Every structure is written in C-alpha cells, then in structure tokens.
C-alpha cells in the first residue's frame, strides 16, 4: 500500500491530516506534477482525472479523490470517528463537508487555477473573469462558515471532523490563491487558530 503524494498540493494534504488524526502511518511516494508525468499512460491508467492523491492498494487497486481515500481508512479504523457518529452526526458532517468542498475549497481552487500564472499550461483556457468570480464565491462561503461557527466549536458540530480538515486546507490555500481573509470573520479566526494548532495540521 502507498499513496502518491505531492506535498505542495492541497488535496493530498487533506489525506495526510486525516491519517495523522487517525494515528495511521501509510507510505507516501512523492509525485512530481509536471505535464509529462500527469499525462503519462501509467499515471492516467491509475487516475484518468490526472490528479493526486492516489491510494494504491497491495493488489493494485487505485483509489483517487481525497474523501474516498479518507472514507476507506475510516471504515478500516473507525476511531476516532472523523465522518461523524449516528445518523444525525454523519449527516451533519456530510452536509458541512460538502459545503466546505463544493462552495469554499472549490472556489479557492478555481481562483488559483484561473489566475495564477503557474497554472497556465494546466488550466486551458484560463479565464480570468471566472477566477475573480470565484474569489467572491469563496468570501461568501466564509461568511456562511462564520455564522455556523458562532454556534459550534467545529464546522459540523462540537467534534472535529473531515469538514474541519477541508476547511483548514481551503483557508491555507487562500494564501497561494492570493485571496485575503476578511478581518470581520472573528468566528472563523477563532476556529482557524484552534484547528491549525493541532499537531495533524503540520502533516
């Protein structure tokens, strides 16, 4: 078993934080994300979306998509539960992780891919207007998160979950995407200070 990983990319970091919270050690194999490697037949056969991370099992089965990889390890090692407990707890984590992923994390990623000069070869065509529009989407999602965190310690509930991991990685990726965090989001800042101080955040 191994995970193909690029340390500078945000999605592999979600998996690394998740595993650190679980106390699991899985071999990581560095993968250089240049266009030659991404478009190679071998890599494309493992993941036709040409993205990392990829979990490669001992029998050769490949699992890509960060949340799918995390769910695999949650099933094998259910403690501590990072996808919630009970019907309601699991539903709330699913709801908030999707909100963090689809409305926040994706918006940051789109701003980065469509505005950063280093992404010109990978994001064809780059559409600057779409990148700018996603900066606004990102800030809208942060306001919703700030309202939620006025009532809960963590994103989905009083318990740390994968929704916090997704949110943390998205906030940190804002710096790379050149999106400034508003000073008015005091609840987000309180939460961010807490989750970024966890040992797993350095994974």
Residues 130 and 197 in one domain: yes
CATH number at residue 131: 1.20.1050.10
Residues 145 and 198 in one domain: yes
Q: What mean pLDDT do residues 16-25 have?
A: 98
So what's the pLDDT on residue 117?
87
Task: Report the Cα–Cα distance between both ends of the chain, in Å, rounded.
Answer: 19
CATH number at residue 60: 3.40.30.10
For the chain, what percent of residues have pLDDT higher than 70? 100
Is residue 142 a part of any domain in this protein? yes
Residues 65 and 110 in one domain: no
Residues 38 and 98 in one domain: no
Residues 28 and 46 in one domain: yes
Tens of pLDDT, residue by residue over 140-149, are 999 999 999 9
Asked if residue 197 has pLDDT above 90, the reply is yes
Residues 44 and 135 in one domain: no
Residues 150 and 60 in one domain: no
Is residue 35 a part of any domain in this protein? yes
Residues 105 and 86: their CA atoms lie apart, in Å, by 26
Domain ends where: 26, 52, 76? 76
Residues 13 and 57 in one domain: yes
Domain ends where: 76, 100, 133? 76
Residues 31 and 63 in one domain: yes
Burial 111-150 (b: 16+ CB within 10 A, else e): bbbbbbeeeeeebeebeeeebeebbebbbebbeebbebbe
Residues 44 and 90 in one domain: no
Residues 45 and 122 in one domain: no
Backbone φ, ψ for residue 30 (5° rounding): -60, 140
Q: The domain containing residue 99 runs over which residues?
A: 86-202
pLDDT category of residue 26 using cuts at 50, 70 and 90: very high
Is residue 139 a part of any domain in this protein? yes
Of the candidate ranges 16-25, 49-58, 113-122, 182-191, the one whose mean pLDDT is the lowest = 113-122
Is residue 29 a part of any domain in this protein? yes
pTM for the model: 0.94
Domain count along the chain: 2
Is residue 184 a part of any domain in this protein? yes
Is residue 81 a part of any domain in this protein? no
Asked if residue 121 has pLDDT above 90, the reply is no
């Amino acid at each position: 078993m191994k995970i193909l990983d690029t340390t500078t990319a945000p999605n592999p970091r979600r998996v690394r934080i998740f595993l650190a919270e679980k106390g699991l050690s899985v071999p990581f194999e560095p993968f250089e994300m240049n266009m030659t490697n991404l478009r190679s037949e071998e890599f494309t056969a493992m993941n036709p979306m040409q993205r990392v991370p990829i979990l490669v099992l001992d029998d050769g089965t490949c699992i890509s998509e960060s949340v799918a990889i995390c769910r695999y390890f949650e099933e094998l090692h259910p403690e501590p539960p990072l996808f919630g407990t009970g019907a309601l707890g699991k539903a709330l984590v699913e709801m908030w992780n999707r909100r963090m992923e689809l409305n926040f994390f994706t918006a940051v990623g789109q701003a980065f891919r469509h505005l950063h000069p280093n992404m010109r070869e990978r994001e064809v065509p780059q559409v600057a207007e779409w990148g700018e529009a996603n900066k606004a989407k990102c800030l809208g999602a942060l306001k919703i998160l700030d309202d939620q965190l006025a009532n809960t310690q963590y994103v989905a509930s009083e318990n740390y979950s994968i929704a916090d991991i997704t949110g943390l990685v998205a906030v940190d990726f804002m710096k790379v995407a050149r999106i400034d965090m508003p000073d008015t989001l005091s609840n987000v800042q309180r939460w961010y200070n807490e989750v970024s101080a966890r040992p797993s955040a350095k994974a």
